[in-house]
């Protein structure tokens, strides 16, 4: 076998449609663009345009504020943490940090940090090092004999 003898399997590739090559081709004359008008021309981008009517995104009421530098947290519930420990994905004897959670496949990515939430229950004594945690989650972990260390700065109340 030589490099010049290698080819794709039959039907693996498809030739592109050549438009504007005569009426007999099935995509001749207007090349599938319909008849006249702005959209039949090249270089058209009419994303929110509604023909001179006020576009819907301008008619809808605006409310609130989106902080441009807001943090996006990955989160984990204590119930999911307990399940991962019982399945043997995490070792409860070692401190569990964000990198260990990703490595074991409990969470996919850290983003701006991991936040611990209180859904479910935890019975295992664990030492957690996370960016943030809810008060209820911290209380639940400490009730099981564990500890939670927060690495992110705590906001003033």
pLDDT at 142: 95
Q: If pLDDT is split at 50, 70 and 90, which confidence band does 39 have?
A: confident
The whole domain housing 128 covers 74-150
Would residue 51 be called left, alpha or beta, if left means φ above 0 and alpha means ψ between -120 and 50 degrees?
Answer: left
User: How many structural domains are present in the chain?
Assistant: 1
Residue of 114 and 50 predicted with greater confidence: 114
Segment 27-50 shows an average pLDDT of 88
Tell me the per-residue pLDDT of 53-72, one tens digit each, with 9 for 90 and over: 999 999 999 999 989 999 89
Q: What's 132's domain CATH number? A: 3.100.10.10
Query: Minimal CA–CA distance to 134: which of 119, 144, 123?
Result: 119
Query: Which residue bears the tokens 């076998």?
Result: 1
- Rounded Cα distance, 3 and 40, in Å: 44
46 within some domain = no
Give the predicted TM-score (pTM) of the model: 0.59
Say whether pLDDT at 157 is over 70: no
Establish if 119 belongs to a structural domain. yes
């Amino acid at each position: 076998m030589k490099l010049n003898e290698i080819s794709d399997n039959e039907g693996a590739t498809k030739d592109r449609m050549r438009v504007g090559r005569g009426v007999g081709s099935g995509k001749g004359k207007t090349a599938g663009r319909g008849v006249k008008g702005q959209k039949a021309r090249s270089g058209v981008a009419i994303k929110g345009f509604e023909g001179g009517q006020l576009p819907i995104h301008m008619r809808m009421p605006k409310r609130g504020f989106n902080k441009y530098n807001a943090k996006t947290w990955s989160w984990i519930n204590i119930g999911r943490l307990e399940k991962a420990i019982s399945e043997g994905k995490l070792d409860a004897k070692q401190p569990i940090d964000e990198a260990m959670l990703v490595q074991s496949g409990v969470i996919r990515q850290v983003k701006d940090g991991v936040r611990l939430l209180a859904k479910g229950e935890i019975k295992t004594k664990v030492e957690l090092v996370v960016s943030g945690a809810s008060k209820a989650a911290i209380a639940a972990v400490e009730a099981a004999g564990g500890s939670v260390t927060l690495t992110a700065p705590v906001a003033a109340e």
